[in-house]
Structure 1
Amino acid sequence: MDNQFPSRKGLCFCSFRYVLALFMHSCNIIIIAQRMCLSLTMVAMVNSTNPHGSPNTSTEKRLDNTKNPVYNWSPDIQGIIFSSIFYGAFIIQIPVGYISGIYSIKKMIGFALFLSSLFSILIPLAAAVGETWIIACRVVQGITQGTVTTAQHEIWVKWAPPLERGRLTSMSLSGFLLGPFIVLLVTGIICESLGWPMVFYIFGACGCALCLLWCVLFYDDPKDHPCVSLHEKEYITSSLIHQGSSTRQSLPIKAMVKSLPLWAVSVCCFAYLWTYSMLIVYTPTLINFMLHVDIRENGLLSSLPYLFAWICGVIAGHTADFLWSRNMLSLTAIRKLFTAIGLLLPTVFSMCLLYLSSGFYSTIIFLILANASSSFCFGGVLINALDLAPRYYVFLKGVTTLIGMTGGMISSTVAGLFLNQDPESSWFKIFLLMSIINVISVIFYLIFAQAEIQDWAKEKQHTRL
């Protein structure tokens, strides 16, 4: 198999495209930090001693500690506040996927990142006014963060040579894995020393600073960037010739709906986010159930899987590109291999967690392995849509992410129902259902997945809606 790409002399880790990947990595850390920090600050924000239904604020408590105002929100209100950010992210996926190929990515991401950071800074004020206002802030944050997480995939359509797509994508997206680790470690310290409002001020200020850097550093097309060397521009441009122009044509909706390779990506995105969301939401609960540790130790143990997932995500992207560049496997075989590993190993380690872990260390090891191994999907299904249709990549990413988020929301709800019915045997049911979904998805993917540009996505095709 001969790669149709120019010499890999342009593959240099000091090249600007790697600087851009690390910058997006930092942006994604801030985005996920602004999203997740409320999970820990809520402990300090809520007055659990007052009866539900009292006024919004606990005046007596606020007088005792002005830097940590406390509110009397019932559990159902807290649940709405937590989930409101996902409603915003959910509704924006397909619209952003559609307009990303039309409008400037620099302006879209820059404006969205600024708004997310601004509303992060406003959350303490919104909380003081009332729970309705903080819910509104979180919904807007969800819309802006959904814009950033979806639109950023358009960057690699023009900036990533095919032989480097895996590593550049994994480097940038792995920020979503490192971010939770940092948040869980830092937020508690900030709350104790400076007060919980400072958490939102600090992460919001960091986002604003990154927004300014974004406006300076990023250009939509590498050909227009003054800091990119002529050699790097030529390497990127020549390596992308085979995929044709990225100019958006009318969306071939019928062809997309009939595309089995695209359905394979969608099904596995559903399974991946089902697994990811279930593990990310219920890891602290599982640790508490199995190890009975205090909340501070629980937070530390819950953060460890994210660190190892981040490491595995970066390794997966680099390994996938290495295998393809050395002609060891076809690109389709690589995508299938990494997807199968990323969906089947979490299933195996989750079952080991229930039946083979006999002590503290074995429980933590299997929990880390279950979370970390799912990151191998970074070299598989999570980038597969770019192989199928570079021209429509961000739109397809929006659609597949929407399908995946549906799986994530369902998995959290189903797990909660199981735990409410029978806490003792519920974990077996939760992991068994996850295993069935993952195995079926992998089988479907292994049969129908491809990694070549589809006929309906080629430039010569002029399919209408």
Structure 2
Amino acid sequence: MGKGHIPGERYLYTRNNTLQPHLLFAECQEADRKLHLPPKCCSVRSNLAFMMFLGFAVVYGLRVNLSVAMVAMVNATNGQPTSNGSEEKESHTHMLFQVPQYSWDPETQGMLLGAFFFGYLFTQIPGGYLSGRFGGSIFLGGGVLGTAVLTLLTPLAAQLGPSWLFALRALEGFGEGVTFPAQMAMWACWAPPLERARLTTFSGAGSNFGAFVALPLTGFICNSLGWPAVFYCFGAGCLWAVLWFILVSDEPRTHRRISDQEKDYIINSIGSELIFILSETGGSHGWSVPLLPMLLSVPLWAIIITQMCANWSYYTLLTSLPTYMDTVLHFDLRQNSFLSALPYLGAWLFSILSGVLADSLLEREILSITTVRKIFTLVGLLLPAGFLFAVGFTGCSSTLAVTFLTVSTTIGGISAAGVFMNQIDIAPRYAGMLLGITNTFGTIPGVLAPIARSLVGWRNVFCLSAGVSAIGALVFTLFGSGRIQRWAVREHGTDADREH
């Protein structure tokens, strides 16, 4: 590599928080090799990833349980009856436990399923900003705790009426909105660059695992105990929050049980300047953030648009797949919940593998960060779009429909090592804030997709989702980047900043 060729994605932090192009990622990697590296297995950072994994499993269990429970909550007069003899069993369950049913039309059901995202929209950016200022652990733990407590009130809210249930679900979204930005703010302080993808994707994979477990579990509980028991059982997620607050800290310097060896490794890998800022401000940035440069950043807008497009299909399936299985494919409630969960098992496995593969490519210097993020995004959005499009033309063939849906969502897990962690590449210092911004826009499909599903036919739902995903893949391929942006590394307001 000649001296004149300086890849932007390999710039590093220095003590005065300015870019030094002559310091390359490879030099940092060589320095890391000279350290006596602590083991990855059973390390504090790995334990943190596992705790986050469990936390997001709880989060998504609390998020998706209504989509299956809705099938049991609504009586059969407003839709097609379930088949395979399940009506008699469900009727017996309702009589045995005196479980109420409601006459909600499809539009009301769509509004209730989308209510979560109305609240989810409003706390993404504040959650990311405050996590960067005060640390992410209190916001991640508090978001899960608050949502679990509210979930316990779901049967009461449903009894009071759709408006009350809508408000409750919106409040749950309000509480959960801070969790993913808080996660990214914490990984900016905990994840060494060469482990960033595997740690981030493993912890985030808890969402797919949570959906995989929660969907069939919800169907089982509905059949066995009645749908109100679903929300009482899932409310036990409060216990996770207790463990979280006991075991976790915002950054390595404040952790009570971390070894000096691991702490020094993390600090030297990430860069001492970021840790210095943490000790001075209590977070990865102070009160001020470079809003105008963020607004004008093309790579940031590429992430925003791409995540909106990717989330359209994801949220469509997350909220509407059980209804599709019920009204079109006519599975009974237990089959419905299991088959609705199956795609998320594949997505969980593929997202974890994608993180390991991405880090391996970077560690061996086979590809640049930009190239890795673009490849994983392109494959993780474009191929699933093709299978999702095919679902719209399967008619009532349950085998083909379930196969295409499972393959589509499984391959979609690959994008976890692409666009969904790109914020920490372009601006580690503001990673929580950026995730709040991108997730705010990315949540808009969660509001619109269930409503759109209630207004158009199922074929149009799948074709629209496929087209939107393909657009997202194209946008990120053209405009995405893995290089650290200048506005993300300078200390604004300093002499160094004014010189530029």
CA distance in 2, matches of 1:307, 1:31: 16
State, as a whole percentage, how many aligned pairs show the same letter: 35
| Per-residue Cα deviation, 1:30-73 (whole angstroms, up to 9, x for no partner) | 111112212222333345569xxxxxxxxxx99x8473430434
* 1:182-193 alignment runs, 5 A limit: 182-193=213-224
CA distance in 1, matches of 2:158, 2:330: 32
CA distance in 1, matches of 2:390, 2:272: 45
- Over 3 Å counting, the alpha-carbon distance change for 1:111 and 1:318 in structure 2 is same
The answer to whether the 8 Å contact 2:127/2:433 transfers is: yes
- 1:298 corresponds, among 332, 336, 339, to 336
CA distance in 2, matches of 1:301, 1:343: 22
CA deviation after TM superposition for structure 1 residue 150, in Å: 2.6
Instruction: Report the equivalent of 2:366.
Output: 328
CA deviation after TM superposition for structure 1 residue 328, in Å: 1.2
The answer to whether the 8 Å contact 1:45/1:68 transfers is: no
* Aligned partner letter, 2:189: K
- 1:227 corresponds, among 257, 268, 281, to 257
The answer to whether the 8 Å contact 1:3/1:325 transfers is: no
* 1:23-422 alignment runs, 5 A limit: 23-48=51-76, 65=95, 67-75=97-105, 76-205=107-236, 207-241=237-271, 244=274, 245=277, 246-248=284-286, 250-284=288-322, 287=325, 291-353=329-391, 361-419=399-457
Q: Does 1:2 align with 2:26?
A: yes
CA distance in 2, matches of 1:33, 1:101: 26
CA deviation after TM superposition for structure 1 residue 199, in Å: 1.7
* Aligned partner letter, 2:256: P
CA distance in 2, matches of 1:458, 1:81: 42
- Over 3 Å counting, the alpha-carbon distance change for 1:40 and 1:279 in structure 2 is closer
* Aligned partner letter, 2:173: G
* Aligned partner letter, 1:158: C
CA distance in 2, matches of 1:193, 1:435: 36
Larger relative contact order, structure 1 or 2 (CA cutoff 8 Å, min sep 6): 2
CA distance in 2, matches of 1:269, 1:174: 16
**5+ long unaligned stretches in structure 2:** 1-24, 79-90, 278-283
CA distance in 1, matches of 2:329, 2:169: 33
CA deviation after TM superposition for structure 1 residue 418, in Å: 2.9
- Over 3 Å counting, the alpha-carbon distance change for 1:65 and 1:348 in structure 2 is closer
The answer to whether the 8 Å contact 1:265/1:449 transfers is: yes
CA deviation after TM superposition for structure 1 residue 2, in Å: 1.8
CA deviation after TM superposition for structure 1 residue 109, in Å: 2.4
- Over 3 Å counting, the alpha-carbon distance change for 1:354 and 1:389 in structure 2 is same
Q: CA RMSD in A?
A: 2.9
Instruction: Report the equivalent of 2:43.
Output: 15
The answer to whether the 8 Å contact 1:190/1:198 transfers is: yes
The answer to whether the 8 Å contact 1:335/1:381 transfers is: yes
CA deviation after TM superposition for structure 1 residue 353, in Å: 4.0
CA distance in 1, matches of 2:134, 2:335: 46
The answer to whether the 8 Å contact 1:67/1:197 transfers is: no
* SS of residue in 1 equivalent to 2:133: coil
| Per-residue Cα deviation, 1:59-96 (whole angstroms, up to 9, x for no partner) | xx99x847343043432444443322211111211221
* SS of residue in 1 equivalent to 2:257: coil
CA distance in 1, matches of 2:328, 2:141: 43
* SS of residue in 2 equivalent to 1:328: coil
Judge which range, 348-357 or 136-145, deviates more.
348-357
The answer to whether the 8 Å contact 2:115/2:447 transfers is: no
CA deviation after TM superposition for structure 1 residue 272, in Å: 0.8
Judge which range, 431-440 or 330-339, deviates more.
431-440
CA distance in 2, matches of 1:125, 1:383: 38
CA deviation after TM superposition for structure 1 residue 360, in Å: 5.3
* Aligned partner letter, 1:396: L
* SS of residue in 1 equivalent to 2:490: coil
Instruction: Report the equivalent of 1:56.
Output: none
The answer to whether the 8 Å contact 1:44/1:191 transfers is: yes
CA deviation after TM superposition for structure 1 residue 25, in Å: 1.0
The answer to whether the 8 Å contact 1:316/1:378 transfers is: yes
The answer to whether the 8 Å contact 2:347/2:409 transfers is: yes
- 1:459 corresponds, among 490, 495, 500, to 490
The normalised TM-score by structure 1 is: 0.87
The answer to whether the 8 Å contact 1:339/1:381 transfers is: yes
CA deviation after TM superposition for structure 1 residue 289, in Å: 7.4
**5+ long unaligned stretches in structure 1:** 51-60, 420-425
CA distance in 1, matches of 2:203, 2:344: 15
Q: Does 1:438 align with 2:476?
A: no
